Amino acid sequence: MHEEPRGFYEGERIARVSIWTLLALGIVEIGFSLVTLSVALLADGIDSISDAGVTFFVWTGLRFVRRRPSRRFQYGYYKVESFTAFITGVVLVPVSAYIIYRSYRALLSPESLRLPVLALVVLILAGLGSLYRAIQMNRVANKYNILSLKLDAKNSIKDTTSSFVAFASVLLSSIGIHHADAIGGMLVAGYILTVAYVTIRESSLVLLDEFHEPELSKRIESVIRSNDHVKGIRDFRLRRAGPFIVGALEVEVDGNIPLNQAHEVATQLETSVRSTIKGIRRLTVTPVPHFDPHEHPHEHYTGQ
């Protein structure tokens, strides 16, 4: 199996497992929050279920990415992955708003928790589960450079932190600081908003074809300029298409070489860049003639 489909298959598999894991965790946490009256535990449970929805979008996007280009979508479905990441961020905003509302009400009328030890056990198990999920998802995301999976991995790290924050707030509440539980719920909501902001920003920039990776651009230029036939680079453009990078540029070659040799140089450059730099999906190199006016004032591109 080639590296690219293997990456999407692995990403899809881990996302599918995560959906069911998060749903189970969320249901358990919400159920025990009704027993213990912990707002922080409720917030963490709602967070887990919302993350299951987020991961569902990621899973859907990865399935679309694997589709072959069609007559209607001639460049493939790579940007579906970025679009689903954007939806992920949008979904997180109302979820965090609801948690803030519930936490604020609890802050106004704090109550002592029932069975706080039970809430603490559930939260520590949820935190450890989220940590394991984050490690596995981050490994696959970084190995195959999958944007939506990277964002979901960050979301998993947030899950781990929020579970431990909720754990600390329940612990404080159990020793008599009753406001701590509501404050923990608000902190969890804050974590969710942070991830939502980062997700919406990064995916929006990809959808708008923003590309600002100067080090990567320099590496590509270095590979291009290492060819002895290249006299200069013009109109160099790159953009992201899901987990990949596509681009085009014009290279100035000696105007006195035959046309077939100029195109052979372009093909060699495309192959060199793709083999040297990971993540380049397509690079279109167009050769254009370069003449030194001082040496060859009357010569033209031979085309022979």
- Residue with the larger pLDDT of the pair 88 and 190: 190
What is the H or E stretch that residue 251 is in? strand 244-254
What is the domain-level CATH number for residue 230?
Answer: 3.30.70.1350
**Residue 188 is which amino acid?**
V
Residues 187 and 228 in one domain: no
Q: Give the count of beta carbons closer than 10 Å to the beta carbon of residue 201.
A: 11
Question: What is the arithmetic mean of pLDDT over 181-190?
Answer: 90
Q: Element (H or E) spanning 112, and its range? A: none
Mark which of 207, 229, 259 sits at the end of a domain: 207
Return the minimum-mean-pLDDT range out of 18-32, 232-246, 247-261: 232-246
How far from the centroid of its chain's Cα atoms is residue 121's Cα?
A: 31
Examine the pLDDT at 302 and tell me if it is beyond 60. no
Do residues 15 and 108 share a domain?
yes
My answer on whether 184 and 272 are in the same domain is no
> Are 197 and 128 in the same domain?
yes
Provide the number of structural domains found in the chain: 2
Q: Is the pLDDT of residue 134 over 90?
A: no
Contact 292, 255 (CB under 8 A): no
- Checking if the pLDDT of 303 tops 60, the result is no
**What is the pLDDT averaged over residues 274-288?**
85
- Please report the pLDDT score of residue 300 as a whole number: 47
pLDDT higher than 80, residue 277: yes
Q: Same domain for 201 and 224?
A: no
User: Is 297 inside a domain boundary?
Assistant: no
Residues 199 and 245 in one domain: no
Residue 179: CATH number of its domain: 1.20.1510.10
Which pLDDT value is given to residue 4?
Answer: 59
Q: From CA 202, how far away is CA 58, in angstroms rounded?
A: 15
The string of pLDDT tens digits covering residues 135-183 is: 888 888 877 777 677 777 877 887 888 899 999 999 999 898 989 999 9
The region, left, alpha or beta by phi > 0 then psi within -120 to 50, assigned to residue 217 is: alpha
Q: Is residue 304 part of a domain?
A: no
Tell me how crowded residue 48 is: count the other CB atoms within 10 A of its CB. Answer: 25
Q: How far apart are CA 152 and CA 59, in angstroms?
A: 10
Q: Is the same domain home to 120 and 25?
A: yes
- Segment 199-236, tens digit of pLDDT: 888 888 888 888 888 888 999 999 999 988 888 898 89
Q: What does the alpha-carbon distance between residue 110 and residue 235 come to, in Å, rounded to a whole number?
A: 63
Both tokens of 113, joined, read 């928790």
Q: What is the C-alpha separation between 86 and 119, in angstroms, rounded?
A: 33
- 87 and 127 part of one domain: yes
With respect to residue 296, please indicate whether it lies within any of the assigned structural domains. no
Kindly report the pTM of this predicted structure. Answer: 0.70
In the listed set 175, 207, 239, which residue is the last one of a domain according to the structure?
207
Among 6-10, 38-42, 137-141, 204-208, which stretch is predicted with the lowest mean pLDDT? 6-10
124 pLDDT above the threshold of 90: yes
Pick from 220, 228, 294: which is nearest to 257 by CA? 228
DSSP 8-state symbol, 176 = T
pLDDT at residue 243 tops 70: no
From 172, 207, 242, the end of a domain falls on: 207
Residue at 40 is within a domain: yes
When the pLDDT of each residue in the chain is averaged and rounded to a whole number, the result is: 84
Residue 35: give the domain boundaries. Answer: 3-207
| Whether residues 159 and 256 fall in one domain | no
Q: What is the pLDDT of residue 298?
A: 47
Q: What angle do CA 157, 119, 176 make, to 5 degrees?
A: 110
**Local confidence band at 46 (pLDDT 50, 70, 90 cut-offs):** confident
245 - beta bridge partners? 240, 280
In a domain, 98, yes or no: yes
Query: How confident is the model over 39-63, as a mean pLDDT?
Result: 84
In a domain, 101, yes or no: yes
Whether 150 and 168 share a structural domain? yes
Whether 266 is in a domain gets the answer yes
Shared domain check, 220 and 184: no
What pLDDT, on a 0 to 100 scale, did the predictor assign at position 1?
45
